């Protein structure tokens, strides 16, 4: 069986949504796929289970594209058109009280310190997105919040490879879909892949490998619905009745960073692995309420109604250590409503638990008048569990707020202000380094505990030393070695 075709989808959509969508000819879709896939490799069509996600969505008045037909590279290690489309919907409850969460100040004030960059291609008027949806001119004023959202991510994650996004401004009708994303290639068993036989998003693959393994493909495809009243400001002061585009871009980019997995659902049965037998890295952290991994085939055969039941149990949890640490030490509840909602279920944080909290960005729905410009610690922890290296910027106590490091010139006293906005929450001195030959060469997170550490070097003999910090205290310290040839300089 194959995925529902675009034409099937449109018929369903016309029935449910007053026929606001134009039919796309199969020829257009096929020709686009041919162009996208190219001829650098011999693609193999994969037999995939059928899926009724999107007819369910249509009955709810949602609009989302059908998943594309998957294509496997000849070496079997790249899966094209693979990221399932995930949707972000306008909150159906108009009485919902909007919240405003600003970006951490150091993200917006230090764009020059970005540790990842994004390359955004706006599909011109007359083009189509990956799913064949016609695109209109992306409003120029919408590109400012798009860049601002990318800049926030660029100051959180680390990648030496620019992350590429193809963005479409589409007429998705009067549905409640703010936008959808997906479709990027997935890769497995590349050099430095942390987990074997596991699919990773293109963006994460490139970041882990340190080079662009497939520069002819976009890492993310994101489409926005032009029918909403969008707010293009970046100040978070979204007027009532408008939707903050910057927040929605921030949300969709997170999906493109691998905040989604391979679980699918059809007529009560759940399955994973895109028909390949290999999980997405996101899937590997998911457990049921009893702690069983959903990909443990000893408990959950693949496919099975047992998986389907679990996916609709309101009892699915993410068990990554970093996400849990950011969640008060407890497992992270995921969105798993009793009726499967394709594009929403499984690929978002639980709504009841996380809406109206600092972790609201990755719940499935977003309200008018809101602004959420900080991904929140749970989402950042989740991405770190998936394999993303996070930037920690002069944050000695790990509260995700930058602190200030001082040194007194004449006697070498080191001091730290632990900051909370413009206020000094607390402060102290880890020690006095009276020998002026010891110089602070940098600040970084050497032990991965989300707290910045201090890197020293002795000027005359090249000894290197590190203080592993915990707030203003030195948790431990040591020397990785001596680099006596002083032509070797530590780069920052
Ligand atoms: Zn989403």
pLDDT in tens, 203-262: 999 999 988 888 899 999 999 999 999 999 999 999 999 999 999 999 999 999 999 999
Q: Which H or E run contains 468?
A: strand 463-470
Q: How far is the CA of 88 from the centre of ligand 1 (A)?
A: 4
- DSSP H helix total and E strand total for the chain: 11, 28
CA 376, 377, 380, 382 torsion: positive or negative? negative
Q: Are 255 and 344 in contact (CB under 8 A)?
A: no
Coil vs helix vs strand at 189? coil
Residues 42 and 72: their CA atoms lie apart, in Å, by 8
Regarding predicted confidence, which is higher, 189 or 484?
189
| Mean predicted confidence (pLDDT) in 162-178 | 91
Backbone angles phi, psi at 187, to 5 degrees: -135, 155
Q: How far is the CA of 252 from the centre of ligand 1 (A)?
A: 6
Q: What is the pLDDT of residues 462-477, one digit of tens each?
A: 999 999 999 999 999 9
| Mean predicted confidence (pLDDT) in 130-158 | 94
Q: How far is the CA of 270 from the centre of ligand 1 (A)?
A: 20
Q: How far is the CA of 87 from the centre of ligand 1 (A)?
A: 5
Q: Which H or E run contains 200?
A: strand 200-201
Q: How far is the CA of 177 from the centre of ligand 1 (A)?
A: 10
pLDDT at 107 over 80: no
pTM: 0.73
Half-sphere exposure for 408 (CA within 13 Å, toward CB):
12
**Sole residue written with tokens 């978070």:** 236
Confidence of residue 160 (pLDDT cuts 50, 70, 90): confident
């Amino acid at each position: 069986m194959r995925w529902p075709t675009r034409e099937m989808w449109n018929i369903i959509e016309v029935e449910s949504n007053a026929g606001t969508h134009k039919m796309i000819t199969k020829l257009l879709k096929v020709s686009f796929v041919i162009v996208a896939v190219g001829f650098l490799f011999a693609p193999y069509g994969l037999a995939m289970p059928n899926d009724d996600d999107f007819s369910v969505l249509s009955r709810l008045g949602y609009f989302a594209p059908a998943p594309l037909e998957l294509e496997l590279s000849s070496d079997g290690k790249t899966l094209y058109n693979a990221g399932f489309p995930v949707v972000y919907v306008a909150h159906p409850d108009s009485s919902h009280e909007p919240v405003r969460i600003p970006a951490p100040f150091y993200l917006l004030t230090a764009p020059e310190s970005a540790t990842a960059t994004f390359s955004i291609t706006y599909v011109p008027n007359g083009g189509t997105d990956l799913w064949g949806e016609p695109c209109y001119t992306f409003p120029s004023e919408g590109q400012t919040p798009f860049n601002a959202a990318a800049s926030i991510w660029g100051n959180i994650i680390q990648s030496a490879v620019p992350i590429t996004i193809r963005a479409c401004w589409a007429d998705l009708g009067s549905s409640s879909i703010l936008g959808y994303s997906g479709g990027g290639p997935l890769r497995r068993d590349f050099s430095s892949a942390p987990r074997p036989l596991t699919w990773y998003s293109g963006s994460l693959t490139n970041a882990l490998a340190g080079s662009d393994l497939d520069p002819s493909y976009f890492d993310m495809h994101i489409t926005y619905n032009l029918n909403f009243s969008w707010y293009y400001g970046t100040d978070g002061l979204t007027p009532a009745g408008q939707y903050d585009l910057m927040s929605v871009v921030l949300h969709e980019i997170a999906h493109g960073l691998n905040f989604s997995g391979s679980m699918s659902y059809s007529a009560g049965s759940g399955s994973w692995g895109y028909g390949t037998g290999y999980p997405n890295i996101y899937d590997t952290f998911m457990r049921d309420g009893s702690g069983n991994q959903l990909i443990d085939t000893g408990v959950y055969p693949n496919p099975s109604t047992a998986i389907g039941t679990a996916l609709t149990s309101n009892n699915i949890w993410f068990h990554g250590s970093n996400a849990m640490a950011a969640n008060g030490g407890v497992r992270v509840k995921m969105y798993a409503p009793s009726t499967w909602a394709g594009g929403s279920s499984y690929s978002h944080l639980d709504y009841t638990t996380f809406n109206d909290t600092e972790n609201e960005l990755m719940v499935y729905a977003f309200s008018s008048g809101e602004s959420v410009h900080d991904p929140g610690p749970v989402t950042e922890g989740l991405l770190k569990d998936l394999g993303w290296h996070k930037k920690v910027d002069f944050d000695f106590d790990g509260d995700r707020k930058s602190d200030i490091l001082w040194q007194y010139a004449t006697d070498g006293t080191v001091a730290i202000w632990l900051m909370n906005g413009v206020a000094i929450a607390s402060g102290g001195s880890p020690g006095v380094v009276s020998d002026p030959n010891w110089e602070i060469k940098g600040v970084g997170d050497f032990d991965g505990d989300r707290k910045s550490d201090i890197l020293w070097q002795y000027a005359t003999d090249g000894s290197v030393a590190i203080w592993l910090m915990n707030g203003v205290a030195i948790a431990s310290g040591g020397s990785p070695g001596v680099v006596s040839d002083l032509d070797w300089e530590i780069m920052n």
